Chain A
Amino acid sequence: MIHTSKKPIEELVTALEGIDKVFIVACGGCPVGAETGTESEINGLSQSLKEKGKTVTGKISIDFLCNKILTGTRLSRVQENLKGIQAVVVSACGIGVQATAKLLDVPVIPALNTISLGGLQGLYPASEKCGECGDCVLHLTAGICPIAGCAKHLLNGPCGGSQKGMCEVDPQNRECAWDKIVKRSIELGRLHILERPISAKNWQLPRLDTREY
Chain B
Amino acid sequence: MEASAVYSNLQKLLMRGEFVVTGECGPPKGADRSVVEKKVQYLKGNVDAVNVTDCQTAVARLSSLATCLILKENGIEPNLQMTCRDRNRIAIVSDLFGASALGIRNLLCLTGDHQKFGNFPTAKGVYDLDSISLIMMVKKMRDEGKTLTGEEIEGKPQFFIGAAENPFADPLEFRHIRLKKKIEAGCQFVQTQCIYDIPRFKEWMKRVVDDGLHKKCYILAGVTPLKSVGMAKYMATSVPGMIVPDSYIERLKAAPKDKREEEGIKICVEQIQELREVEGVAGIHLMAIEWEEKVHEIMAQARLLPRPKVE
Q: Interface residues, chain A, CB within 8 Å of chain B?
A: 151-165, 168-169, 176, 179, 182-183, 186, 191, 194-201, 203
Contacts and interface: CB of A to CB of B under 8 A. Distances in A.
Contacts of B171: 158, 162, 179, 182-183
A212 B112 CA distance: 40
A161 B130 contact: no
Contacts of A194: 174, 177
Given A160-B166, A161-B240, A163-B241, A154 B116 contact: no
B129 A200 contact: yes
Contact of A201 (B113, B133, B173): B133
Nearest to B182: A197
Nearest to A164: B170
B130 A195 contact: no
Contacts of B117: 168
Given A154-B127, A156-B132, A158-B169, 18 more contacts: A152-B111, A152-B130, A153-B127, A156-B130, A158-B170, A158-B171, A158-B174, A159-B130, A162-B171, A165-B170, A168-B117, A168-B240, A169-B116, A183-B171, A191-B177, A199-B133, A199-B148, A200-B148
Contact of A161 (B125, B133, B169): B169
B128 A154 contact: no
B178 interface: yes
Interface SS of chain A: loop
A187 B169 CA distance: 20
Contact of B133 (A160, A165, A200): A200
A96 B248 CA distance: 49
Contacts of B193: 160
Contacts, number: 103
Contact of A197 (B132, B165, B169, B174): B132
B184 interface: yes
A164 to B, nearest CB: 6
Interface in B79-122: 85, 89, 111-114, 116-117
A181 to B, nearest CB: 10
Contact of A195 (B85, B112, B166, B180): B180
Contact of B241 (A161, A191, A203): A161
A160 B241 contact: yes
A23 B241 CA distance: 41
B166 A198 contact: no
Contacts of A191: 177
A182 B181 CA distance: 14
Contact of B170 (A154, A163, A186, A195): A163
A203 B90 CA distance: 13
Contacts of B180: 195
B137 interface: yes
Given A155-B130, A161-B240, A195 B177 contact: yes
Contact of A162 (B132, B136, B169, B182): B169
A153 B130 CA distance: 9
